[in-house]
Structure 1
C-alpha cells in the first residue's frame, strides 16, 4: 500500500470511529443503548440488516468461489425470499408484540426459564466464536495485503469497533453499518467497472469466457444428498436464513428499533432481499477475475493453484487497482468485518443485560446500573473475542472444535423456536425431549464420519443438511411427544 492508500484507509477508520462516537449524547439510557430512541430512519435499519448479513468472509469468499468453480453459492441467496417472507409474516410481529429487547424472552413464555437460558447461552457462545473468527480472518486478509502483524490488526480492529459501539450504542451501530454497507457496494462496483474497462475485447469478453468455461452454472440439479447440489444448497439456505432473520438477536434487535410493525417488516424484507443482487455482484467479481486473468493479465505462479482462489481478489486489489482505489477497497473489506463485529458486541451485551442481569441478579436496578452492565459486558465480550482471534493464529484446531460444537448447539435453537411459534403445545417435557433429540441428530451427522467411517449412513449426507435434519427432528419429536404424552384435561 502506498501513501495515498494508507491515507484513504485511515481517514475511513478514523471517520467511522468519530461518527459512531458522536451519538454518545443520544445514548444515555439502557433503552437507547439497546433499541434506540425510535428516531432512526427505516432506510438506515434496512441497510444495517444487509450489512450485518455481509461479513468480510463473504466479501472475499464469494469471488473466490466463482473464480474457482461457478455460481452455486447464489442458490443460497435464492432462498432468501422464502426465509424472509416467513420471518416477516410470523416472527417480526411476534417480537414487536412481546416488546422485549431480547429475542429469547419468547422462549421463557412458551417453555419456561430453561429454554431461555439454553438459547441465550447458545447465542452468546456462537457470537464469541463469530467475533474471534471474523477478527482473525480479517487480520489474515489484511496481513496478506499490507504485511501488517496479524495480532496487531486483531487488537486494533477490536478496540476501534468496541469504542464506537460502546459510546454510541445501537444508534451508532446502525448508522455505521449503513455507511459500511454502502461503501462495500461502491467498492464492488468500482472493481467490476475497472475490469470491464480493461478487458482487451471489451466488457462482453467476460461473458464469452465465462460461458465457455461454464462459470454461470448453479450446480447440479440431481437429487444427491451427499453433494452441494442446487436442491441441497437451497434447502440449507432456507433453514440458515430463517435462523438468521427469525431468531438471531442481531436481527431481532433491529426489528425493535423502528416505530411501527410495518416499518420493521419492510426493513426486514428489503434488508434481506438486497443481499440477493449484491451476492450476484460479488460472484460476478469472481467470474470477471477469471476472465481478466485469462486475457488481460496473468496471475503469478504462486496463485495458479486453483485451491488458492480466495487470494486472487486481494491480489487484484493490491496489484491492479489505481492508488486510492486500493485504499477504498481495503476499507470496504474492513467495513464488512467491522459492521458484523459491532453488531455482535451490542447484541451480546443486550442479551446479558436482559436475559441474565435484569432477571437473576438485580431486577430493580437503576438505569445507571444497567448502563454500567452494558458497558462492562461489551468490554468483556470484546476482550474475549480479541483473545479468541489471537488464539486462532496458532491454535486453530482446538478452536475449530469449539466452533463446531457451538454450531451444533445453535442448530437446536431454530427447531425450538419453530415448535413454540407453530404449535400450541405447552408441554415442557415434549419440548425438552424434542430439543435433546435434535441435538443428538446434529451430533450424529457431525461426527458420524469420524467415529463410524466414510461408509456410515450419517457420512452419506452433505454437512449442509445437518441443521436441516436437526431442526426437523426437534420440531417433529417435540410436537409428537407433546401430542401423545401431554396429560388430557379432566372434563368437569
Structure 2
C-alpha cells in the first residue's frame, strides 16, 4: 500500500470533481430526448469521437491484460488482440459509411431495418438484452475487477470500498450527462490517461533495480519476452498467437470494440458523427492510436515487472494481503505503480481513474441505449415519451453498475474474461459481415449462429466434452488446444448456413427498403436489383461500388499501422536498423493510404 501526499490527493480529487462537473453541466441538454441522450443529436466531429473511442478502450483492465499477456507469452502474445486491427480497418473503410447511412439510433435497431416480421423483432429484443445486459455486465465486471486489484494493492481498499468510490462518481455523471457527457469527459480522460501511462513507464524503467532501457533489454528475465512475433521454431506459439488470430479470429469472432461488420459502442460513435466522412476519420484515428502507439507504455511496465517481480511468489511476498483467488500476473502492473513518487503517483492514479470512468461510462450508456430503445420501447411501453425514456435510461445505468459490481467480486483475472468473451462470439462474425452484402442472410441466420456459438462454447468450456477434446492447463486432450476456436467457428458456420437455406428469405419489400437506404452494392444484391429493374424500379445511386477500394485501403492501412507499431517498438528497444526500415515502410504506406483515402472520400456521402 502506498501513502498519498497532499499533492496526490489534490490531483485526484480535482480530477474527479472536474469530471463530475462536466456530466452535471451537460445534463440539461442531454435530457431533451433519447436521441440527444444516446447520440448527442448526431452532430459530433470526427476528432472528438476518435479521441472518445481511444479513451473508452483505455480501461483499467487493459494494462492488466497486457501485463498478463507479456509476462506469460511475451510481447508477441499481444497478437491475440493486435489481429483485430483487420476488423477495425474493415469497419473504417467499408462499414463506417454504411452504418452512417442506416441512420438508426442503435445498432440493434438495424435488425428491423435489415430483416422483417416476428423473427426480426425477437432478434432485436433478445440481442439487446443479451448484449446490453449479459455481455455488458461481463465487460463492466472486468473493468471493476481491475479497479478492485488496483485499489487493493495501491491503496489498501477493500473491493466494496473501491467500487463505491469509483462507481458512484461514474454513475452520477454517466446517468446525468448521457452520451454527450461521456464524450466530453473522454476528451479530458484521454490526455490524463495517456500522460499517466507514459509518465509511469518512463519513471519505472529508470528505477535503480531496473537500470534503464538498455539494462532492461539485457535482463535475463526479459530477453526471451521481447520478440514482436512468436519464435518461428515454436510451432504451437506461431499457430496460437499468430496464425489463428490473423487467419480466423479477426473475422469470425464477435468481441466488444472489434465487431466484424462494425457494431457496439464503436457503431454508436459512428452514428453520432456529422456525416460518413467524419465516421470514417474518427474510426481510423482510433485504430492508429489503439494499435500503434498506446500499447507501448503498458508493455514497458510489464517488462520492468519481470525484473522487480519475476514470478507470482514475489508478488505474493510483497503483497501478502492479496486474496489467493485474486493473485495473478495481471497484478504486476499495479504492483509496479506502488513504486511511483509523490506527484506522479497522483497523476497515474488519476489516469487509472480516468481509464476506469471512461470505459465504465461508455459501457453504461451503450448498454442502457439497448435496454431502453430496443427492449423497453419495443416490448414494455411503446408509447413512452422522450422524457420517460431518458428516465429509464438513467435508471438502467444504475442497475447495470450494481450487477457488474456483484459479478466482479467473483472473478479472478482479466485474461479469463477475454477468453470467455472471445469464445462466446466465435463463429458469429461471418454473418455480421455478409448481412450487408448478401441478400440471402435472414433473421434465422443470426438467431441460429448466436445460440449455437453460445451453446457450443459452454459445451467446450464447462463440460467434460471440452476437457476430453482439448484438455486443460494440466492435461492434454485428443486435439491441440489451439484447434478449439476453428472447430467452434466451423460448427457454427455449418449450422447457420443450414438454417439460412431451410428458412424463407426476407421479403422483397424489406430487402428493397434496406438496399435503398444503405446502398451496400455488390454482386450479393444483384438478384434484388435485377428483380426491381425488371419492374422499371431503379434505386442504385451513381456512386461506384466502393468495397473493392475499401478492401485495398484496409490492407494498405494494416501495413501502415503494423509497421508503425513495429517502428515504435524497435525505437524503444534501441534497434536502429529494423526501426529505420519499419519507419520507412510506415511513411511509404502512409502516403499511399492518403492517396487512396482521397479517392474514397470523394465517393462518400
Q: TM-score, normalised by structure 1?
A: 0.84
SS in 2 for 1:229: helix
Alpha-carbon distance change, 3 to 201 in structure 1, aligned in 2, over 3 angstroms: closer
1:148 matched to 2:167? The reply is no
Give 1:415 deviation, angstroms: 4.6
Alpha-carbon distance change, 313 to 405 in structure 1, aligned in 2, over 3 angstroms: closer
Whole-Å Cα distance in 1 between the matches of residues 237 and 316 of structure 2?
36
Preserved CA contact (<8 Å) 1:110 1:426? no
Give 1:169 deviation, angstroms: 0.8
SS in 2 for 1:271: helix
Alpha-carbon distance change, 43 to 469 in structure 1, aligned in 2, over 3 angstroms: farther
Q: Residue 361 of structure 1 corresponds to which residue in structure 2?
A: 380
2:13 pairs, out of 5, 10, 15, with: 10
Q: Residue 242 of structure 2 corresponds to which residue in structure 1?
A: 230
1:214 pairs, out of 206, 213, 224, with: 224
1:372 matched to 2:391? The reply is yes
Give 1:377 deviation, angstroms: 1.9
Q: Write out per-residue CA displacement over residues 214-266 of structure 1, whole angstroms, 9 at most, x where no aligned residue.
A: 22123344554997333234443555577634344222111111101111111
Q: Residue 552 of structure 2 corresponds to which residue in structure 1?
A: none
More displaced, 69-78 or 134-143? 69-78
Whole-Å Cα distance in 2 between the matches of residues 57 and 429 of structure 1?
35
Give 1:132 deviation, angstroms: 2.8
Alpha-carbon distance change, 202 to 344 in structure 1, aligned in 2, over 3 angstroms: closer
SS in 2 for 1:115: helix
The gaps in structure 1 that reach 5 residues or longer are none
Q: Write out per-residue CA displacement over residues 102-127 of structure 1, whole angstroms, 9 at most, x where no aligned residue.
A: 11222233342222233222202111
SS in 1 for 2:240: coil
1:120 pairs, out of 121, 128, 134, with: 128
Residue correspondence of structure 1 range 222-371 to structure 2 within 5 A:
223-224=235-236, 228-234=240-246, 235-237=248-250, 239-240=252-253, 244-246=257-259, 247-276=262-291, 277-291=293-307, 302=317, 309-318=329-338, 320-371=339-390
What RMSD, in angstroms, separates the aligned Cα atoms of the two structures?
3.7
Whole-Å Cα distance in 2 between the matches of residues 291 and 478 of structure 1?
49
Give 1:267 deviation, angstroms: 0.9
SS in 1 for 2:481: coil
SS in 1 for 2:41: coil
Whole-Å Cα distance in 1 between the matches of residues 95 and 288 of structure 2?
17
Whole-Å Cα distance in 2 between the matches of residues 353 and 129 of structure 1?
19
Residue correspondence of structure 1 range 126-165 to structure 2 within 5 A:
126-165=135-174
More displaced, 240-249 or 38-47? 240-249
1:180 matched to 2:196? The reply is no
Whole-Å Cα distance in 2 between the matches of residues 311 and 45 of structure 1?
31
Alpha-carbon distance change, 421 to 22 in structure 1, aligned in 2, over 3 angstroms: same
Whole-Å Cα distance in 2 between the matches of residues 431 and 203 of structure 1?
50
Whole-Å Cα distance in 2 between the matches of residues 138 and 301 of structure 1?
18
The gaps in structure 2 that reach 5 residues or longer are 321-326, 508-530, 535-605
Preserved CA contact (<8 Å) 1:50 1:181? yes
Residue correspondence of structure 1 range 397-436 to structure 2 within 5 A:
410-411=425-426, 414-429=429-444, 431-436=446-451
Give 1:174 deviation, angstroms: 1.2
Q: Residue 202 of structure 2 corresponds to which residue in structure 1?
A: 193
Alpha-carbon distance change, 313 to 8 in structure 1, aligned in 2, over 3 angstroms: same
Alpha-carbon distance change, 439 to 454 in structure 1, aligned in 2, over 3 angstroms: closer
Q: Residue 49 of structure 1 corresponds to which residue in structure 2?
A: 53
Whole-Å Cα distance in 2 between the matches of residues 406 and 293 of structure 1?
29
Preserved CA contact (<8 Å) 1:23 1:168? yes
Whole-Å Cα distance in 1 between the matches of residues 123 and 160 of structure 2?
37
Alpha-carbon distance change, 185 to 73 in structure 1, aligned in 2, over 3 angstroms: farther
Whole-Å Cα distance in 2 between the matches of residues 326 and 355 of structure 1?
43
Alpha-carbon distance change, 133 to 375 in structure 1, aligned in 2, over 3 angstroms: same
Size of the aligned set, in residue pairs, is 478
More displaced, 214-223 or 99-108? 214-223
Preserved CA contact (<8 Å) 1:70 1:215? yes
SS in 2 for 1:100: coil
SS in 2 for 1:228: helix
Whole-Å Cα distance in 2 between the matches of residues 198 and 452 of structure 1?
44
1:76 matched to 2:80? The reply is yes
Residue correspondence of structure 1 range 374-389 to structure 2 within 5 A:
374-389=393-408
SS in 1 for 2:230: coil
1:479 matched to 2:497? The reply is yes
Preserved CA contact (<8 Å) 2:55 2:186? yes
Alpha-carbon distance change, 332 to 201 in structure 1, aligned in 2, over 3 angstroms: closer
